[in-house]
Chain A
Amino acid sequence: MAKHVTQNLALAFLAGIVLLAILAPVLPLPDPIAMDVMNRHGSPSFAHLLGADEFGRDTLSRIAFGARASLAVAFIAAVLAGVAGVALGLVGGYFGGWPEILAMRPLDVILSFPPMLLALLTVALIGPGTETLTVLLAVLFVPTYARVAFGETLSVRHHEYVEAARALGHTAPRILFRTILSNVAGPILVQFSLVVAACILLESGLSFLGLGVTPPESSWGLMIRGARPYMYQAPMQLLWPCLALVLTVYSVNRVCDMLRDRFDPKAAVLWFPAPRKTARAASPAAVPAMGKMLDVRGLVTEIATPRGVIRALDGVSFSVRPGETVALVGESGSGKSMTGLSIMQLLPRRVGRIAGGEILYAREGAERSGASAAAAVDLARIPAARMRAHRGQEIGMVFQEPMACLNPVYTVGFQLTEALRAHGRMTKAEARARAEEELRRVGIPDPARRLNDYPHQLSGGMRQRVAIAIALCGRPRLLIADEPTTALDVTVQAQILVLLDDIRKMQGIGLVFITHNLGVVAEIADRVVVMYCGQVVEDGPVEDIFYRPLHPYTRGLIASVPQDGGSADKSRQLFSIPGTVPNPLDLPPGCRFAPRCPEAIAACTKAPPAMEAAGAGHQVRCIRWREI
């Protein structure tokens, strides 16, 4: 990739410059301050590879020694500023209060002066020189570090591992330097490279003005100053130090980007190529089965991760009838949420894609008449624009975190009327009246007043009710609810479950309820689809699943839930499934549950089991369901 080539070039150039600077005294270079007036502005020759300057001094040699001055000043200043700034930032961020004021406020004073102005002032007072310059630059850049360290410390301080260190009885210095410092080091290192680049520029600028490095010592700024009056006679003499300066600063910044990528793994995302229009041709005349409004068949969804492509869904099939509640149950990584997002075409752009299967959806009334091809759509294949029209009006969605669909800067009323007007033409007044009605339908007391509230003024339960109202205001026939009660308290959860169930009954909508909570499933579901590692492992009516579970995973899940029973026996154990969910990049061959399954036999690890019918509407993906 081009990015890597320039990065490596930058790294190589920087390494070369640093080496040149370090080795300058031992390299066979002419003396950088030996004048040779006869050779003023001499052209390049073997003795003087880059020619000579206005005093006949060797340009290459002066560049090398100039690099020594520039880089030394920049590095030393950056390190000094770093040590002081990080210490101040850590202390200010960790302790807060008075230490924060003492550590951070004086720095604001430094920041309020333009750096160049402050530098000019100081040099004018103290006089130029390399040491003055270094100290000055260090002071100038202390605030930059301090602010970064302060901000990072503030965010790290609230992590529980810092609390844990306090709970262990560690002293504040130990917590600061051993626990916090290592966790804020990344951004500080990035800051370091930025400061080095800035110091190089500032040093050159000051030297150019005659306020930095003093002649006859060499510095790039001084060289530019020397060459400037003769820029028409000897333009090359101006070019070389400028080139050195520009390339060095560019390289430092480039390396800085590299560091940033390294320390911020979130920045590195693997993307799928942009989808080709013809990639997935519509399958001819696929219609949902009789009586089904949603019929998902063999759905395959892939997710690109930095470590490879994951099959988040691998042949998922299930169906929903009008007025039916289907629960998708599973643990993290089972693919239950991915299924909801796939149906809604809400997979993260170019990170997730549907790679196979069908999501057949029958429009109004079509499921009864046996679904002609015209009334059915394959949501896995329709273009994004058509999907947008389906969202909200055919299928609504509710998320775990209601703030996911509520905009914090608009009132509830504004957001709800916007949604209503997107679904049908109406005046503002009409929309407002409808919005009030919609809020009343989801059990919000005093809806007219609530319309003027912002989302943050509502409690968690009220927010979820508003989110449900927005999802339902386009009168969808199918509602997908992804862990809608997980973030709520049990007493509020009970209210929301009743609300969703009442809405389903009254409007006859299909409800896909995604959850990890088996108790919630038992309360609300008609059918249960149990998922594990991107596959459906069992699918059946709710009573079959809870009273006659067939798959060992389903049994294990149900047995893991603590049930009321006498706690007199202190030695009792909860049933638990051993082991952990396998890595999606390294799935076991055969049955994906086999490594954790108490009933697994040799055949289980040989070939992946298929779904088998095990009773009326009950299917299971286990080769041993008859025996166990």
Chain B
Amino acid sequence: MTAPLLSVRNLVKLYGGRGGPFSKAAAAIRAVDDVSFDIASGEVVGLVGESGSGKSTVGRTVLRLNEPTSGAISFDGEELTRATPARMRALRRDMQIIFQDPFSSLNPRARVEEIIGEAVDLRGPLPRGERRASVVRMLEHVSLSADHLRRFPHEFSGGQRQRLSIGRALAARPRLIVADEPVAALDVSIQAQIMNLIAALQRETQVAMLFISHDLGLVEFIADRVMVMYLGRVVETAPTREIYRRPRHPYTRALLAATPSIDPRAARARPRVLLRGEPPSPANPPSGCAFRTRCAFALEACAVARPALRDIGGGHQHACLRDDIDTPRV
């Protein structure tokens, strides 16, 4: 196997915790707690979790938009956590991000030509005409047109703005894109358009992608491999088909079971297994397995030590102590 494009090892990101002279020390929030994973060139990795699971923080920290507290991030063999600011700026063009909110991710006072042009500039200065031609090509790629060059973001709908964001990210010709809930703010009918666009462009450019979402259906559609996060930790990772067919971690199962299906008869027929309670605070996670407070299968041993990810073959890893839970997924 060739070396992965992105390799993350023992990534930790704490928020807060340092009390200043005038504020009492608060417990640090462990937003990302010892996370390791690889992304190969051209691979799409889905990162799934609920709010507060730390999935967005992983995405931002990998790009060093947030500084990691500890851990190693290597991109194409180069250690990002040790890169100088100047080197980091140069590296950034290879790693782009698409944000969730199409309204706050575009500069409201910049025209389309400038928004995409800024990213085009990263490949080196171009004469004015060529730069514009390049911007127009990118607009056409995302199903917009040269007519839009002089417009401001507020003149576009949510879906069109997200096309612009995608265009901006791709214009720098990156090798890795972090897509942070890129369609969560869009209407259902527009979501499908944008997902098709992202999938098609990914196939065409073979850019590697970390696709962050709370929507299991979208992740299944686009990802080669899926990671499930709970309270800052990865609890299960497997190839997409495998994880949807044979989820092993009780949390993954609960997540799949809670996702509403659009089949009313099946929805009513299936037993209602509800997960108890809500995720605990990341400032004060439970001892041992973070999920044990809500888990129907928890043992005493679960509270003792934090279970590590275990490989069960076929690229499937999970962090549950028990192997004897085998209720098949409905």
List chain A positions with a Cβ less than 8 A from chain B. 159-161, 163-171, 179, 182-183, 185, 331-332, 459-462, 489-495, 497-498, 516-523, 525, 542-543, 546, 556-558, 560-564, 566-568, 570-571, 573-578, 580-581
Contact = CB atoms under 8 A, between A and B. Distances in A.
Given A461-B278, A560-B192, A562-B221, A491 B92 contact: no
Nearest to A163: B65
Given A163-B99, A332-B187, A490 B258 contact: yes
Given A161-B106, A168-B122, A567-B240, A498 B272 contact: yes
15 contacts: A159-B104, A163-B99, A168-B92, A179-B110, A519-B262, A519-B267, A523-B261, A542-B264, A570-B203, A574-B192, A576-B192, A576-B193, A577-B192, A580-B157, A580-B159
Contacts of A489: 50-51, 214, 278-279
Interface string B171-215: 010000000000000011111110110010001000000000011
A578 B193 CA distance: 7
A498 B274 contact: yes
B40 interface: no
Contact of B241 (A171, A567, A578): A567
A517 B262 CA distance: 9
Contacts of B254: 491
Given A182-B109, A518-B188, A557-B188, A546 B168 contact: no
A169 B122 contact: yes
B89 interface: yes
B218 interface: yes
Given A160-B105, A168-B119, A461-B278, A522 B191 contact: no
Contacts of B263: 522, 546
B260 A520 contact: yes
Nearest to B100: A160
Given A168-B92, A461-B278, A567-B240, A546 B264 contact: yes
Given A546-B264, A567-B241, A168 B172 contact: yes
A543 B264 contact: yes
Nearest to A162: B107
B316 interface: no
Contacts of B264: 522-523, 525, 542-543, 546
Interface string B98-118: 011100111111100000001
A520 B259 CA distance: 9
A322 to B, nearest CB: 20
Given A164-B99, A518-B188, A562 B217 contact: yes
Contacts of A556: 189
Nearest to A497: B260
Given A159-B105, A332-B158, A562-B217, 7 more contacts: A165-B118, A167-B95, A169-B92, A332-B187, A561-B188, A563-B217, A573-B199
Given A160-B101, A519-B262, A563-B262, A574 B195 contact: yes
A460 B261 contact: no
A522 B220 contact: no
Given A167-B92, A518-B188, A562-B195, A490 B262 contact: no
In order of increasing CB-CB distance, the 9 nearest A-B pairs are: A519-B260, A169-B92, A576-B192, A562-B217, A331-B187, A489-B50, A160-B105, A577-B189, A169-B89
B63 A564 contact: no
A160 B107 CA distance: 9
Given A167-B63, A168-B122, A520-B260, A491 B241 contact: no
A495 B107 contact: no
B51 A522 contact: no
Nearest to B272: A498
B196 A564 contact: no
Interface in B259-300: 259-265, 267-268, 272, 274-275, 278-279
A331 B188 contact: yes
A489 B105 CA distance: 23
B244 interface: yes
A169 B109 CA distance: 20
A362 B97 CA distance: 54
A495 B192 contact: no
Interface of B: 50-51, 60, 63, 65, 88-93, 95-97, 99-101, 104-110, 118-119, 122, 157-160, 165, 168, 172, 187-193, 195-196, 199, 203, 214-215, 217-218, 220-221, 223, 240-241, 244, 254-255, 257-265, 267-268, 272, 274-275, 278-279
Nearest to B239: A567
Contacts of B274: 491, 494-495, 498
B104 A161 contact: yes
A228 to B, nearest CB: 49
B89 A171 contact: yes
A515 to B, nearest CB: 10
Nearest to B105: A160
A166 B218 contact: no
Contacts of B50: 489-491
A168 B221 contact: no
A332 B189 CA distance: 11
A183 B110 CA distance: 9
A257 B220 CA distance: 53
B267 A331 contact: no
A490 B223 CA distance: 20
B260 A462 contact: no
A167 B96 contact: yes
A523 B272 CA distance: 11
A177 to B, nearest CB: 12
A550 to B, nearest CB: 16
A564 B188 contact: no
A578 B190 CA distance: 8
A522 B270 CA distance: 13
Contact of A170 (B110, B118, B159, B165): B118
A517 B187 CA distance: 9
A489 B215 CA distance: 10
Nearest to B92: A169
A563 B216 CA distance: 10
A329 to B, nearest CB: 9
B142 to A, nearest CB: 14
B46 to A, nearest CB: 10
B267 A523 contact: yes
Contacts of A516: 187-188
Contact of A580 (B88, B119, B122, B190): B190
Nearest to A568: B241
Given A498-B272, A567-B220, A574-B196, A522 B261 contact: yes
B259 A519 contact: yes
Contacts of B217: 561-564
A155 to B, nearest CB: 11
Nearest to A462: B278
Between A163, A166, A167, A492, the greatest number of chain B beta carbons within 10 A of the residue's beta carbon is seen for A167
B19 to A, nearest CB: 16
A461 B165 CA distance: 32
A462 B276 CA distance: 12
B329 to A, nearest CB: 10
A561 B262 contact: yes
Nearest to A522: B264
A269 to B, nearest CB: 18
Contacts of B107: 161, 165, 179, 182-183
B90 A160 contact: no
A166 B122 CA distance: 12
B93 A163 contact: no
A522 B267 contact: yes
A566 B221 CA distance: 9
B97 A167 contact: yes
A521 B262 CA distance: 8
Contacts of B89: 169-171
Nearest to B86: A171
Contacts of A574: 192, 195-196, 221
Given A167-B65, A170-B118, A566-B241, A557 B189 contact: yes
B218 A562 contact: yes
A38 B279 CA distance: 92
